[in-house]
Structure 1
């Protein structure tokens, strides 16, 4: 495929760098190393072509600084239909969820402390503000369209999906991720005809900031006290902010070993309350991106270092280091410390990390599950079987009565032998008939089978309880001296 820019200049693409659902990304080394080309798999609709032209026309330095914004349209043939665009190249960045996830952060951002996370959240808010200031809306806010470098600089990617307003026309964003979709849009099956607003974006912005400040936790993922299931989507729709002031009234509580709003200034905590509460669903009810920038800057400039662990940064308004307290309570290490050598370089503090590993307490033994702790629901015998049991009892009782009467008569008066034989014969067959269990055998077989299956399932549950939640795996991977006296 021969590609040209809007002026008719041929554009040669090189090595493929990546591929997505809509198109491929290529090197364009003939132009420079700071640009890449996105080429769509299939021809674009006229509306989509107009949208890309409008984005290119409105590209400026501020947008290029925060996003992989389309800079030049690519055409099939000179003055042909738009089939792609040139955009800034992003190198040395990782998806933002690999920063706010404690496990990934230790691998990819080992030097990142809480100050780094606060500054990253501030930069995300600044990027949102840049988009909103230009009159656009991101729409599909999610953890996959924000990337971050090792200096906390972020970039917004997949900008061609943004909602763009240009020349009196609105080019909508037709996609979205449920975990970042605000309550008022949760019931929609499609965003095709939905006009997104900056207030909708501000909900997703608050989710990203919460992820960054609170160790990857989702604000609507908590412990629900109700009986039914409470997936995140439903919790969002019903405003069940698990970490908020009124969470208990909505049957929610933060998960165990969670970082709570108590570690941040009340002004920043109020931003989350406003973003996730009912009032936020009203027009412009949520904090704007610029407000987040201001208060996160305030938090950033009021951090202090822990006297025990320099890797711990926390809000200076607190009485003590919350990270030390959390590590002592949970055994979870959120940040990796470093030591400074005589050369001034920093290196991994193996001794400190090993001490933390050794301080992890052995999990308590699992309680024994007793079948008696569960309430069984009885399954009564069928009505027909109950009647059969009564009939059998009466038959045996009648046979016994006949035998007793015959014995008494034989002992007191002379009874003809034929009558005696007939009586005993009748009593015998009547008694035997009382033990005929043919009608009950199928029911008994079914119940024995059900009992066997229930016992098998119980043994399986018991096995999983011990292997998945017990101490066996912990003892296999932990120093033996830690759990043997």
Structure 2
């Protein structure tokens, strides 16, 4: 007798299933392949499975109703549960959902910036982005009609099919789900897409969940229609304002309204002024008005869907660049942006060339070192004279006048005695011979010099020494 292995897993109708290879594993559970274009999510044993059982039951009861996609009946837009999953003891273990074609789709994040879009072979024109915007609003409308809320709505959590431009959502069991007399809130959000009234507390009450979705949806739509620019980016006019996006959202620094903001200016490459008046008015309501005035997803569908239909001819192909489209009656924002970026790039190249030229000229010139100018040495103050020198010159300065007076008196007395014989002396001098005259003249001259030297030594020198020695 051959023993058969009992299956470990069953669907909601208690039919056995066999999970295939692992796709990914997260905080709540792991996702595996199933046959027939389906996947299964098996919750970890560490979570509250009773809570998730009630939540999945509510999702099965209130499934969103999406309009059919022409020619794409098998297109999966929501990874929504189609059956619960039971273990071998018939206990709740997870759920089964349709498998989204990952190869045919890509994250919405990649089409926002032109460089990324080109790198992934995605369209860069406005027409594709308007279609994506309208299709996203249709998907959100279907969820809101069942009173489900997404909460953590952002481009990286969204995918779109490259061919049809329809949007798809994964991880739907992380949404805020409306059940039978019970609400299953969502715990995750992203600050760059969080409404201003919730920025300070970081908590979204139940009655504010739809307003949060409306805000996050408007941010994504603005990025789709305006080259990936966040509506709260721009150049601040005041220095004391926050520079991070959550801080700007909290202070409601929206720079792209019909009425300019006082404290922030728009990005120079923004194309918001080339949008129709109706679209700009909805953005003003979403970012500059009260929470209850934010446009719903259905209002956005009614506004954007006419632009997405080619038959309405509300989008025009640019006459200068066939890759560009613009709203009818408005200039091509893509051309204006390209021209500005080109001028900026050329200015940068010119500046770089000038800098390189200056460096080459500086390198070719000889290096002239500046002469080192040294200050003159500080005068060394003379030290105070020694005590013996001061005493000696002091005594000399007192004795010199006394000696000079004595010499003067002696000379005067001698001259007075000899004055009577002066004529006889002169006569005798004249009568003497030449040799005697020369000898007498030399003796007189030497006597005068001796007197002069004595005066200098006894009077002038002591006076100068004493003067230099002073303070």
Fold shared by both chains (TM-score > 0.5) = yes
Per-residue deviation, 1:24 = 2.2
C-alpha distance in 2 between matches for 1:276 and 1:190:
19
Q: TM-score, normalised by structure 1?
A: 0.66
2:137 matched residue in structure 1: 125
| Consecutive unaligned residues in structure 2, runs of 5 or more | 1-6, 68-74, 356-377, 397-471
Please state whether the residue corresponding to 2:115 is helix, strand or coil.
helix
1:24-46 superposed Cα distances (whole Å, 9 cap, x missing partner):
222111xx12x211222335422
Q: Taking structure 1 as reference, are residues 261 and 111 closer, same or farther at Cα in structure 2, changes over 3 Å only?
A: closer
1:207-250 superposed Cα distances (whole Å, 9 cap, x missing partner):
1101111111111122112224421000001100132245541x
Q: Indicate the structure (1 or 2) with the bigger Cα radius of gyration.
A: 2
1:185 matched residue in structure 2: 198
Aligned partner of 2:169 among 156, 168, 179 = 156
How big is the alpha-carbon RMSD for the aligned residues of Structure 1 and Structure 2? Answer: 3.0
Are residues 1:287 and 2:273 paired? no
1:142 matched residue in structure 2: 154
Query: Do the aligned partners of 2:318 and 2:325 also contact (CA within 8 Å) in 1?
Result: yes
2:112 matched residue in structure 1: 100
Q: Taking structure 1 as reference, are residues 293 and 189 closer, same or farther at Cα in structure 2, changes over 3 Å only?
A: closer
Aligned partner of 1:62 among 52, 62, 66 = 66
Are residues 1:363 and 2:366 paired? no
Per-residue deviation, 1:252 = 1.0
Aligned partner of 1:7 among 10, 13, 35 = 13
Q: Taking structure 1 as reference, are residues 23 and 332 closer, same or farther at Cα in structure 2, changes over 3 Å only?
A: farther
C-alpha distance in 2 between matches for 1:158 and 1:247:
39
1:231 matched residue in structure 2: 244
| Consecutive unaligned residues in structure 1, runs of 5 or more | 334-358, 369-395, 416-485
C-alpha distance in 1 between matches for 2:9 and 2:343:
53
2:410 matched residue in structure 1: none
C-alpha distance in 2 between matches for 1:4 and 1:74:
6
**Map 1:270-285 → 2, pairs under 5 A:** 270-277=281-288, 279-281=289-291, 284-285=292-293
Per-residue deviation, 1:404 = 6.7
Per-residue deviation, 1:314 = 0.3
1:291-349 superposed Cα distances (whole Å, 9 cap, x missing partner):
1111112333410011121111100111x42322221221299xxxxxxxxxxxxxxxx
Per-residue deviation, 1:413 = 0.9
Q: Taking structure 1 as reference, are residues 323 and 89 closer, same or farther at Cα in structure 2, changes over 3 Å only?
A: closer
Aligned partner of 1:75 among 55, 79, 86 = 86
Q: Taking structure 1 as reference, are residues 245 and 111 closer, same or farther at Cα in structure 2, changes over 3 Å only?
A: closer
C-alpha distance in 2 between matches for 1:406 and 1:314:
105
Q: Taking structure 1 as reference, are residues 408 and 57 closer, same or farther at Cα in structure 2, changes over 3 Å only?
A: farther
1:261-299 superposed Cα distances (whole Å, 9 cap, x missing partner):
11110110111111011x232xx2200111111111233
Please state whether the residue corresponding to 1:14 is helix, strand or coil.
coil
C-alpha distance in 1 between matches for 2:81 and 2:339:
49
Aligned partner of 2:335 among 304, 313, 324 = 324
Q: Taking structure 1 as reference, are residues 5 and 196 closer, same or farther at Cα in structure 2, changes over 3 Å only?
A: farther
Are residues 1:90 and 2:101 paired? yes
Per-residue deviation, 1:112 = 4.2
C-alpha distance in 2 between matches for 1:362 and 1:234:
32
Q: Taking structure 1 as reference, are residues 403 and 170 closer, same or farther at Cα in structure 2, changes over 3 Å only?
A: same
Query: Do the aligned partners of 2:107 and 2:159 also contact (CA within 8 Å) in 1?
Result: yes
1:115-150 superposed Cα distances (whole Å, 9 cap, x missing partner):
000110111111111111111111111222211111
Q: TM-score, normalised by structure 2?
A: 0.68
1:381-415 superposed Cα distances (whole Å, 9 cap, x missing partner):
xxxxxxxxxxxxxxx99x94762797994684159
Aligned partner of 1:297 among 281, 288, 305 = 305
2:374 matched residue in structure 1: none
Q: Taking structure 1 as reference, are residues 272 and 414 closer, same or farther at Cα in structure 2, changes over 3 Å only?
A: farther
C-alpha distance in 2 between matches for 1:132 and 1:112:
30
Q: Taking structure 1 as reference, are residues 402 and 97 closer, same or farther at Cα in structure 2, changes over 3 Å only?
A: same
C-alpha distance in 2 between matches for 1:176 and 1:406:
94
1:477 matched residue in structure 2: none
